[in-house]
Amino acid sequence: MEKMKWIDNHVPKSDDRYLSLMSHENISNTREFHKSFPQYWVTPLANLKGMAEYLGIAGLFVKDESFRFNLNSFKALGGTFAIANYIAEKMGKDITEMTYDYLTSEKFRKEFGQATFITATDGNHGRGVAWAANRLGQKCIVHMPRGSSHMRYDNIAREGARVTIEDANYDECVRIAAKEAETIENSVVVQDTAWEGYTKIPNWIMQGYATMALEASDQFREVAMNRPTHIFVQAGVGSMASAVVAYFANVYKEDPPTFVVMEPTEAACMFKSATIADGEPHSCTGDMHSIMAGLCCGEPNLVSWDILKNHASAFISCPEWVTAKGMRMLATPVKGDPVVISGESGAVGMGVVASILKDESYKDLREHIGLDRFSQVLLFSTEGNTDRDQFRRIVWDGEYPSI
């Protein structure tokens, strides 16, 4: 069985100029925007007391994003906030004026009209952008890479978007989307991948994602916890991971949690960048096939990499069995614990934490990050069951065994 690979963070640090994007003040304003949506409510923080006892740690908490906007994923947090900011900027208004009621009003339709929001996705991001555009009376085009799930395709199409599956990988689909936006009047790319000259919209998306981190922080306090000691975050281009890391690093400046970044082996661009350790982001190439479809991104978000290299303690490259193990553990918990239905891109943290604590071959990693009986661990299950057939093969039939 292929083992997880890990590396400690010895990358040269930068001036950390992007950290303030995820300040508590900024993200509090972001959440106020999300709260204007009638579909908004705070997603659960599952307290897995029995699992924590089984693993030998003090606490284990999982933010369950399968309930977000009834979309089975956290991604709409980013798409909605980016679209609203883009519209506000176009109209010369402040984001605080961009409430759901205004954006869905006849007055807004007359004042702004319609734009076309174009994106590339492995599933969840595209659905979130399509959902936002649909709710706000806007147009949407979504490009998906080869091998994309037809269930995820159908979910996006049902939101009224024009959807294609391209003979290309995810990063090539991003370039297709960017090129198409140049040919369509009043259109824009809504992508959480930042590159030279394209950072404003990805930064808005990251701020949108951070609503999830703010909620989790509040929920910790509600159960009489000061803060998590360890946060494990999965990374594709790194936008969600860096949003979570930057928010908690801002809130707990004097005593931040230990941050660990996880990626699929086939698309471990952050792990590769940390291994080369010259301070620059480095890409992975090829099809990057993985059941963790939402994490199969080969080119790091430049802003995200800057945040993660400054604050992460370790980077882990994860084979398929890791997230499959996590999916099964969350779906069949210790008696008394809540069930968390977590998809392939959402459950990797559970598989990682269980492996680190129960497999002595990861003792060095366990000691490096200080994971022990006093640890309070926070995970983010970023998606639910978004591919029914694959979910059943893994959870019911035991595909990708860990032994």
Q: Mark whether 122 is an active-site residue.
A: yes
Among residues 75, 139, 272, 309, which one is catalytic?
Answer: 75
| Residues 202, 193 contacting (CB under 8 angstroms) | yes
Taking the CB of residue 215, how many other CB atoms lie within 10 A of it?
21
According to DSSP, the residues that pair with 312 across neighbouring strands are 259
Instruction: Give the span between the Cα atoms of 134 and 346, in whole angstroms.
Output: 25
According to DSSP, the residues that pair with 73 across neighbouring strands are 383
How many helices (H) and strands (E) in the chain? 16, 11
3 state SS of 182: coil
Query: Which H, E and C letters describe 45-86, residue by residue?
Result: EEECHHHHHHHCCCEEEEEEHHHHHHCCECCHHHHHHHHHHH
Among residues 122, 171, 306, 387, which one is catalytic?
Answer: 122
Which tokens is 132 given?
A: 């936002």
Taking the CB of residue 55, how many other CB atoms lie within 10 A of it?
21
Q: Mark whether 35 is an active-site residue.
A: no
How many Cα neighbours within 13 Å face the side chain of 153? 12
Of 379, 363, 380, the closest CA to residue 371 belongs to 363
Q: Which residues contact 317 (CB under 8 A, 6 or more apart)?
A: 4, 5, 6, 263, 264, 265, 268, 271
Q: Which residues contact 160 (CB under 8 A, 6 or more apart)?
A: 130, 133, 134, 140
Structure letter (DSSP) for residue 381: E
Taking the CB of residue 122, how many other CB atoms lie within 10 A of it?
25
Catalytic residues: 75, 122
